[in-house]
Structure 1
Amino acid sequence: MTTTDDIAPGQAPADVAALALKPALEAVLMVVDEPATEADLARLLERPRRAVADALRELSDEYARTARGFDLRLVAGGWRFYTRPEYAAAVERFVLDGQQARLTQAALETLAVVAYRQPVSRSRVAAVRGVNCDGVMRTLLQRGLVEEAGTEPGTGAILYRTTNYFLERMGLRGLDELPELAPFLPEADAVEAESAEALPSFDPDAPEPTSTTEH
Structure 2
Amino acid sequence: MSNEESRNSLADQAAAWVPPWQRPTPPRQTGDDSPRQEDLGTETPPEGPEVSKIQQDADAAAEAEPAPTAGEGAAGRVPKKHPAARRRVVPEPAPELDDAELRGALEAILLVVDEPVAEATLAEVLEQPPARVGAMLDQIAAGYTASGYGFELRRAAGGWRLYTRPEYAGYVERFVLEGQSVRLTQAALETLAVVAYKQPVTRSRISAIRGVNCDGVIRTLVTRGLVEECGSEPESGAFLYRTTTLFLEKLGLNTVDELPPLAPFLPDDVEELSDATR
Instruction: With the length of structure 1 as denominator, give the TM-score of the two structures.
Output: 0.41
Highest RCO, 1 vs 2 (Cα 8 Å, sep ≥ 6) = 1
TM-score (norm 2): 0.32
Greater Cα radius of gyration, structure 1 or 2? 2
